Structure 1
Amino acid sequence: MSAWLLSCNPKKFDIEGHRRDGEVLSSWTIARYVHDVAAGDEFVLWVGGLNAGVAAFGRFTGAAEYGQPDPRYWAEDQSPKHFVPLVVDKWLDLRVPKARLTGDPRMGAATIFRQPFAGSPHRLTTEELQAVRDAIEVAEGEDPVWDLSPGDEIRRVELHARFGGSSQNGIVSCEPTDNILIFTAASSGHQHGYYDTWNEDGTFHYTGEGQTGDQRMARGNKAILEHRETGKRLRLFNGARGTVRYLGEWTLDAEEPYTKAEAPPSGGGDLRSVILFHLVPVKATITARDVEVGQDYVAPDETLAPAPAAPSTPDPDLVGRNLSTHRKLQNLLAEEAQKRGFVALSPDVSDPEFDLAWRDTEGRLTVCEVKSLTRANEARQLRTGLGQVLDYQDQLSGRAPEASAVLWVEREPSEERWVKLCRRVGVTLAWPGEEKSAFRGDQTSPGSSAVGGV
């Protein structure tokens, strides 16, 4: 078996558009080694340009053939060509950047660097293939240089001394490490028109840089947008000055990486256009016991009209009629917790986006997910809510002496099996009229004879 490097010139073939349209990469045109490529050969896909690097790997499924390529993604030269059928085993979340490979002595004779304009494919020696595999392992695994865990606090001056970059900006590309540090701080950000938002679906909308005028996709903003192509990891921190807290590794939403919004400029004035990056967590779970869970409960506005949901929003509770019902249920349950002497909590920036939590006098924590129910969405809501509250309970279990879970719904489910299912996995399923069951943390079925009608 042989190993090959397939090269892509993005000015000639729109590989990103091909992927964005959901097309499956099943073949690649070649200009050399037509009689040498064979089924079972390994390949890596190299995308050239400013952010050159390895974007995928896989294997050939047959010998070279001759035919007409799909003209939709070609900018030029649409004549018949030789091509090799293939299957992609993995598209890399973070591209292996060119610099990581040029710095490896095993790649010193690689033809992609010595003859970059030669036709595809480039033959890889056993040593070169291993160098690429090792670089892919770094891109796909843990960064061996990064030693902060989500929840860790560090002085910002020390952070930059260790990982590079300027301490003056909110978006910082670090050299020589493959990291982009981004800082969020409501206390200082609002005065410059930066309104970052933690969303109920667990995502985070981060305002780009630029304090006056319309924000442009340049400098730090461009660095965030292209972080996958440059192989850089997005590291989020809470705070802008002094001591900051690491909130983990995040990435851009693949379907909708950003939207535009309006915000005032620094110092006030007419509204301007700002960029809102849509970030989703990669490795952002905080487990350290010294990071306290929650903040004093903040009641959501039950009358506030919901914003249009993103196409990928999985939770029906976040749109339309359900949002108002959801918030009313949540606020009433928080009031009930406070009446019973519990401390009602909303999530802080260090927490998963639970709806509500409460803590008793002994420090025991209960985390709660709230769900509205209709006949049409009942099964989906219960299934989603159970998964969410189990996830929250698991994330918080290391930060509280005890962490129990409650799924609070609008009414009694139509099928009793949901109560039994929740009980089997240690979650209390309850609804208005069954408050004692929720606050007792009893896993006995609400409304059953064992509860005695409470």
Structure 2
Amino acid sequence: MTGPSGGLVGRGRITGAPSRQPSAPDEYWQQEPGTRWYVPLVVEEWLDAPVPRQRFVQDERFAEQSPLRTLFAGNPHKVTDAQWEAFEATFPGRGASDATGWLLEPGDEVKRKELHDRYGGSRQGGISKCAKSPNVLVFTDPRTGHQHGYYDEWAEDGTFHYTGEGQTGPQSLDSTGNAAIRDHVELGLALRVFEGSRGVVTYVGQFAVDPADPYSYGKAPGTGGGPLREVIRFHLVQVGATAPQSAVPVGTDYRTADESVTPAAPQFTPPDPDLAGRNLSAHRRLQNALAEAARARGLEVFSPRVTDPDFDLGWRASADGLTVCEVKSLTESNETRQLRTGIGQLLDYHDRLRGRAADVRAVLWVEREPADPRWVALCARAGITLAWPGREGDVLG
């Protein structure tokens, strides 16, 4: 808290992704600032009395780079690990966990029974709202989920589409589990995603419902191959680091992309032109055709699992090496943007996977040869193979 009587007064946590929202009521401001960026924040612990700022000013850990000297600059303020320790030391009962008592890191494995013993929630089902801790535990597992029509997957826009609860009949947003996901930011609950549903599960990381496009509806069979019914697909975005740098296997069985899909009218301009109009169908045709060509050469083709970055497809020629591929449609007007986007995505994928395979190759597969030939050499300098239909041998050989 700023001002003459200011100081450290409490601590909390961010519970979701940032979004643009109207500012607080008019009477709060001397001058209305209009629509601004906000993040949902829950204050979990208030001190009985402020710890005066002067106490920290006199601490040698704040001698050089200090947020205390720029209190009227824009928020947030970044602090060093030592400075954070100084703040934490003023709170009673501090421990090795974060402010919520959460002890797991992305990639950690835990028995589901022990997970619920520690944090609460039901040991059954895919969505578990905890009573003992401020968490909603979400489990995704194609081995058990597909039999109930739960097809969870990464979408082209980088969100993870998670199927809501309800094994028969149309799913409802008001059911206990679905409401917990929908309202987790409002309720101050962290959304924790796990891969697996029984026995030992892997913690993927913290996610949040996409505030701009929180969910959509789709069709899927009921339990045991029942008739098609309406299901809810929550659009989840990653909060912080989620990809484990460990021996977790990369990829799962390839999922053929639906080429007949008609994209819904977006609420905002999508950052990737592949998500709009004819580009989405072209993207999926390209992806499926390349997957078929890879299979024809005897390669093991796969799609990303939830612990993986959201590449379009990948293939494996040996146990030690793998290739991940980003697919882009191209038009004269979007060529530069698409190539820039694809290169950035592949650099991210490669960095996140290099600790999980001895050899990781990156391929940018585009609709046609770029009009500007410099892109081939630029990609090569970045360690990326740029190719298009007719040059399958360059990437599958």
Structure 1 length as normaliser, TM-score?
Answer: 0.64
Partner residue of 1:411 out of 355, 368, 383: 368
| Superposed displacement of residue 330, structure 1 | 2.5
Matched residue, 1:147:
103
Using the alignment, how far apart are the partners of 1:213 and 1:426 within structure 2?
47
Q: For residue 438 of structure 1, give the secondary structure of its aligned residue in structure 2.
A: helix
Q: 2:327 aligns with which of 359, 365, 370?
A: 370
For structure 1, the residue ranges without an aligned partner over 5 or more in a row are: 5-18, 30-82, 108-129, 441-454
SS in 2 for 1:280: strand
Corresponding letter in the other structure for 2:186: E
Please give the secondary structure, in 1, of the residue aligned with 2:39.
strand
1:3 and 1:424, CA in 2 relative to 1: closer, same or farther beyond 3 A? Answer: farther
Rounded Cα–Cα distance in structure 2 between residues aligned with 1:331 and 1:354: 14
Q: Which amino acid aligns with 1:370?
A: V
Instruction: Report the counterpart of residue 94 of structure 1 in structure 2.
Output: 41
SS of aligned partner of 2:363: strand
Secondary structure, counterpart of 2:378 in structure 1: helix
> After superposition, where does 1:260-299 map in structure 2 within 5 Å?
260-261=217-218, 274-283=231-240, 285-299=242-256
Say if 1:393 and 1:306 are closer, same or farther in 2 by CA, change over 3 A: farther
CA–CA separation in structure 2 for the residues paired with 1:89 and 1:301:
37
1:397 aligns to what? 354
Residues 1:420 and 1:194: Cα distance change in structure 2 (over 3 Å) = closer
The one-letter code matched in structure 1 to 2:375 is W
The corresponding residue for 2:22 is 23
Q: State whether residues 105 and 205 of structure 2, in contact with CA within 8 Å, keep that contact through their aligned partners in structure 1.
A: yes
User: Does structure 2 conserve the Cα–Cα contact (< 8 Å) formed by 1:170 and 1:182?
Assistant: yes
The amino acid of 1:158's aligned partner reads E
CA offsets 1:351-380 (integer angstroms, 9 cap, x no match): 222122222336222211111211122112
Q: Which residue of 2 aligns with 1:424?
A: 381
Q: Which residue of 1 aligns with 2:310?
A: 353
- The code of the aligned residue for 1:170 comes to G
- 1:156-215 deviation per Cα after TM superposition (whole angstroms, max 9, x unaligned): 101111222221343222243222111233444455554444322221223333455652
Please tell me the root mean square deviation across aligned C-alpha atoms, in Å. 3.9
Alignment CA distance shift 1:189-1:323 (3 Å): same
Query: Could you give the per-residue CA deviations for residues 204-233 of structure 1, whole angstroms, max 9, x where no partner exists?
Result: 223333455652425333332232233221
- Which shifted more, 212-221 or 253-262? 212-221
Name which of 112, 121, 132 aligns with 1:156. Answer: 112
Distance 1:381 1:142 in 2: 39
Cα separation, 1, equivalents of 2:295 and 2:147? 34
TM-fit CA distance, 1:310: 3.9
Deviations 1:260-306 (A, max 9, x none): 4566666888876654322111235323332111134444344x233
**Which residue identity is paired with 2:345?**
Q
Residue in 2 aligned with 1:326?
Answer: 283
Q: Distance in 2 between matches of 1:205 and 1:336?
A: 27
1:249 counterpart residue number:
206
Q: Which amino acid aligns with 2:136?
A: I
- Residues 380 and 157 (structure 1), Cα distance of their counterparts in 2 relative to 1, 3 Å cut: same
Q: Does 2:162 correspond to 1:206?
A: yes
Pair 276,301 (structure 1): closer, same or farther in 2 beyond 3 Å: closer
| Counterparts in 2 of 1:143 and 1:333: CA distance versus 1, 3 Å | farther
CA contact under 8 A between 1:285 and 1:395: conserved in structure 2?
A: no
Letter in 2 for 1:172: S
Q: Report the secondary structure of 2:306's partner residue.
A: coil
Displacement of 1:315? 2.5
**Partner residue, 1:15:** none
Distance 1:376-1:182 versus aligned 2 partners, 3 A rule:
same
1:337 maps to 2:304: no
1:162-241 correspondence to structure 2 within 5 Å: 162-190=118-146, 192=148, 194-211=150-167, 215-217=172-174, 219-241=176-198
Q: Which amino acid aligns with 1:405?
A: A
Counterpart-to-counterpart distance in 1, 2:292 and 2:226 = 40
Q: Which amino acid aligns with 1:164?
A: G
1:380 to 324, 327, 337: 337
Q: Contact 1:26 / 1:85 at 8 angstroms: preserved in 2?
A: no
Q: 1:438 to 1:194 in 2, by over 3 A?
A: closer
Q: Deviations over 1:386-425 (max 9, x none)?
A: 1221121111111111212111112221112322322332
Counterparts of 1:181 and 1:349, CA distance in 2: 15
Aligned equivalents of 2:375 and 2:98: distance in 1?
39
1:95 is displaced (CA, Å) by: 2.3
Report the Cα offset of residue 381 of structure 1.
1.3
Q: 1:309 to 1:3 in 2, by over 3 A?
A: farther
Q: Deviations over 1:302-337 (max 9, x none)?
A: 4x2334264354322234432333233333333443
Q: Which amino acid aligns with 1:231?
A: G
Which one has more relative contact order, counting CA pairs under 8 Å at least 6 apart?
2
Greater shift, 219-228 or 405-414, is seen at 219-228
Q: Report the CA distance between 1:250 and its aligned residue.
A: 0.5
Distance 1:337 1:93, change over 3 A: same
